Amino acid sequence: MTVTTTAKATGLTPMAFVANVQRSIDFYALLGLTLRNTFNNPQGKLVWAHVQCEAAELMFSLASDPVIPSQQAVLFYLYSPDLVALRNHLLAQGIKVSAISYPGYMPKGEMRVEDPDGYVLLIGQAG
């Protein structure tokens, strides 16, 4: 089955349900993502945000149920132009991050970190 040039999706932005939207904004800022937009509910509570850095985009929505890290069924794969520098930056901020490994599918290096809600981020060396 082929898709016509106009009948297609041209963008995809994952949205993660989180326990605290501001906490997620702050964490992902450590990775270089900046705030693009937010939404507050009628009571003024921050319930949604969109962050971005170059081609990386992510949205957060306030979870209506508890966020249980062991039940997060999504993995975020990111790329960094300087994996070593990013790892050192995260460690300096007190973030627990794995050592850099060199799996066959990412021979230039990859590391693992979890965000405050338990979502797994694998970050590979770009280029």
CA angle 13, 17, 18 (to 5 degrees): 120
Q: What is the mean pLDDT of residues 14-43?
A: 97
Q: 72-111, pLDDT tens digit by residue?
A: 778 899 999 999 999 999 999 999 999 999 999 999 999 9
| Residue of 127, 4, 5, 18 whose CA lies nearest to 72 | 18
**Amino acid 1: pLDDT:** 58
Q: What is the pTM of this model?
A: 0.85
| Residue of 28, 35, 36, 34 whose CA lies nearest to 86 | 28
Confidence of residue 4 (pLDDT cuts 50, 70, 90): low
> Rounded to whole angstroms, how far apart are CA atoms 60 and 51?
8
> Rounded to whole angstroms, how far apart are CA atoms 25 and 116?
10
- Classify residue 127 as exposed, middle or buried by CB count within 10 Å of its CB (0-12, 13-18, 19+): exposed
- The pLDDT of residue 3 is above 60: no
> Rounded to whole angstroms, how far apart are CA atoms 92 and 126?
22
Domains of the chain (ranges plus CATH)? 15-125 (3.10.180.10)
Confidence of residue 5 (pLDDT cuts 50, 70, 90): low
**Amino acid 28: pLDDT:** 98
Confidence of residue 11 (pLDDT cuts 50, 70, 90): confident
